[in-house]
Structure 1
C-alpha cells in the first residue's frame, strides 16, 4: 500500500523531514494526515482508523522526545543563535517557495525551547536570584549562616582536642622530681584503671596431678588444716595427732613441745588467712552428735513416710476390689431381673418359696 503525506500546503517539506528523521522544528505547528489507499496492484485495504491514530500518536511522541533532547544538548546557546541555526538548516532543506511560512514555526520552537530551558534550570535550583522571592532569599541566607556556624564549631572542637592531646603527651614525658623526704625511695607507679576489659587466660586447664601438687604447696608446715563438715573424719584426725604427741612426749618432751608449738602456729597462720580451723575435740563431738541426731530424725521420717505410702496403696487396692465385687454383683442381679421379666423360674425363687 502507498500513502500520501499532506503537511498543510507543504507536502515536499513534510516528506523530506519524515524520511531524513527528526529535526529542530515543532511538531505541534504542523498537521499531519495519513491517507491510505490502494495501489494499482494491491488487493488488500489500507490500515484501519485505529492503527492510523496509533501511528500518528507514536510519531508525535518521537518528535517531542527529539525536541527535548535537542533542547537539553543546546541549552547553553541563546535563542537567537539556535533560531539562526535552525533557519539555516531548514532553508537548506526546504524549497524556495516555502521561505515565507518557515519563520513562524521557528519562532514557536524558540519560545518552547526557552521555556523548557527555564524549567530545567528551576528544577536544578539554578534559577536567577532576581526571580526568587524575598522570603526564599532570606531562607537561603539563614541556611548559609547555619552551615558556616557549624563549620566554625567543628574547627574549634578539633583545635581543643588537639591541644588536650598535646598537653597529655607533655605531661607523660615530664620527669618526676623526687621529693627530699622520699629521695631514697623508688618512684611509685600510678595504678592504671582498666574498665570494660576481662583478662582471659589461654593456659590449658591443670591436670589432676598438678592440682594435687599445688594443694601440697599450699599446705603450711606439712600440716593439713582441720576444715570441713565431716566431723567424724575431723575427730579421727585430731585424735590421731593427739596420740602422736603422746607417743612423742613419752620419748622426748622437748620434741613433743616443739611439734605442739608448730601445730598451733600453723593453725594460727591458717586462721589469719580466713580458714576456719576445727581443732576443738569437745565441739567436734557435740557437732557429730547433732549430725547423727538429725540423720536419725530424717531416717525415722523417711520410714514413716514409706509406711504411710504403702498403707495408702493397700487401702486403694482394697477399695478397688470392693468396687469390682459390687459391680459384679450388680450385673448378676440385673441379669436375674431380666430373666424373671421373661418368665423364667430361677432356683433362688424356688428356695424362697420352699419348693426346692
Structure 2
C-alpha cells in the first residue's frame, strides 16, 4: 500500500513538472531620460556643419567633372549649385539626391542640343566620321556640278533665242540667178484607185460553184452524178436536134456546133462534162446495181437481226422455264425431307 502511494505521488509530481508552463514576463518600463531625448531630437550643430561641408565638397567635384566632360558649365548647373547652397538647412539625404538628378537633367539637355545641331548641319566637323565627311563632300561637289550645268544650259538657250530673233529680223533677199527662173512645182504623188471589198475571199469550192453557175451560150453544162437526169437531158437535146434537122439542116448544124463549143469552153475551165450517152447508161447501171446490192445487204441484215432477236427470246423463255422447274423440284425435295407424302410419290408407288 505504501509503495502504491509513493508511485502515485511520484507520477503526480512528474506530470506537474511537464504540464506546467512558465507565464509571460512583465515588460520593463523605460524612463524617458535626458540622454534619450537628446538622441531623438536630431543631429547636433557640429554634425550638421560637417554634413554641409561634405555636400559642398561633393558639389564642387560634380562641377569639375562636368567642366571636364562638356568644356563649360551650363547655366542650369550653376542654378543648381546656387539652389543647393541656399538649401543648406535640408536633411543630409535630400541634399545628396537633389544634385544628382540635376546633373542628369543637364547631361540630357546637353545631348539634346548636340543632336539638334547635328540635324541642322551645324555640328562640329571633328565629331563626324571620315566616311560622313567624304559623303558630305561628294554631295557638295554634285550640287556644284548640277548648278554649273544648269547655268550652261540657260546660256545656250539664251544664245539660241537671240539667233532666232536675229534671223527673223533679217529680210530674205532673192538671189540674182534665180530671179529670171520660174519656181518649180514639187512632184505630187499620184494614187491609183483601189477598190477593197469588205467580203471575205471565197474558198476554192465556192469559186468552183460560181464558175459552174455561169452559163455559156444559154446551155447548162451536163455535170453532176445524177446520171438518170443527165441522160434524160441529153436525150432531150438529141430529140430537139432531130426535130430541127427535119426542119432545117443548117440550123441543126449551127446548134450542134454551138453545143460543142460551149462544152469545150466548160472543159477548158475545168468543168467535167458528161455528154456521152453510152457512158451515162453504164454509170446509171452501175449505180442501180450498187443500190440494189445495198438494198439486199440491208434486208439481209434486218432479217439476221430479227432472227437473232427471236433466238435470244427463245433462249430466255427456255431458261425461265428451266429455272421454274428447278425451283419446283427444290420445293418438293424440301417437303420430302420434312416427311410429307406427295401425290407424285403415291402415283409412282401405285397407291393412288
- Alignment TM class, shorter chain as reference: 0.3 to 0.5
User: What are structure 1's unaligned runs of at least 5 residues?
Assistant: 12-35
Which moves more between the two structures, 46-55 or 138-147? Answer: 46-55
Cα shift at 1:283 = 1.0
Which moves more between the two structures, 140-149 or 226-235? Answer: 140-149
Residue 212 of structure 2 contacts residue 271 of structure 2 at CA under 8 Å; is this kept in 1?
no
* Deviations 1:210-269 (CA, angstroms, capped at 9, x unpaired): 999999982111111100000010011001100110111011100100000111111111
Cα shift at 1:351 = 1.1
Cα shift at 1:130 = 15
* Deviations 1:295-337 (CA, angstroms, capped at 9, x unpaired): 1111111111111100110010001000110111011111111
Inter-CA distance 338–209: structure 2 relative to 1 (3 Å threshold): closer
Residue 59 of structure 2 contacts residue 81 of structure 2 at CA under 8 Å; is this kept in 1?
no
Distance 1:257 1:243 in 2: 14
How does the TM-score come out when normalised to structure 1? Answer: 0.44
Cα shift at 1:282 = 1.1
Residue 226 of structure 1 contacts residue 234 of structure 1 at CA under 8 Å; is this kept in 2?
yes
Residue 238 of structure 1 contacts residue 281 of structure 1 at CA under 8 Å; is this kept in 2?
yes
Inter-CA distance 120–60: structure 2 relative to 1 (3 Å threshold): farther
Residue 178 of structure 1 contacts residue 187 of structure 1 at CA under 8 Å; is this kept in 2?
no
Q: Tell me the equivalent position of 1:16.
A: none
Cα shift at 1:107 = 14
Residue 245 of structure 1 contacts residue 256 of structure 1 at CA under 8 Å; is this kept in 2?
yes
* Deviations 1:88-121 (CA, angstroms, capped at 9, x unpaired): 9999999999999999999999999999999999
Give the structure, 1 or 2, with the largest relative contact order (CA under 8 Å, sep 6 or more).
1
Distance 2:108 2:146 in 1: 43
Which moves more between the two structures, 69-78 or 213-222? Answer: 69-78
Distance 2:115 2:19 in 1: 38
Cα shift at 1:209 = 22
Distance 2:176 2:166 in 1: 24
How does the TM-score come out when normalised to structure 2? Answer: 0.45
Residue 231 of structure 1 contacts residue 284 of structure 1 at CA under 8 Å; is this kept in 2?
yes
Residue 71 of structure 1 contacts residue 117 of structure 1 at CA under 8 Å; is this kept in 2?
no
Cα shift at 1:128 = 16
Distance 1:168 1:55 in 2: 93
* Deviations 1:20-68 (CA, angstroms, capped at 9, x unpaired): xxxxxxxxxxxxxxxx999999999999999999999999999999999
Distance 1:139 1:76 in 2: 31
Inter-CA distance 264–162: structure 2 relative to 1 (3 Å threshold): farther
Inter-CA distance 112–343: structure 2 relative to 1 (3 Å threshold): same
Which moves more between the two structures, 111-120 or 77-86? Answer: 77-86
User: What are structure 2's unaligned runs of at least 5 residues?
Assistant: 1-16, 27-31
Inter-CA distance 276–189: structure 2 relative to 1 (3 Å threshold): farther
The secondary structure found in structure 2 opposite 1:9 is coil
Residue 10 of structure 1 contacts residue 98 of structure 1 at CA under 8 Å; is this kept in 2?
no
Aligned length: 331
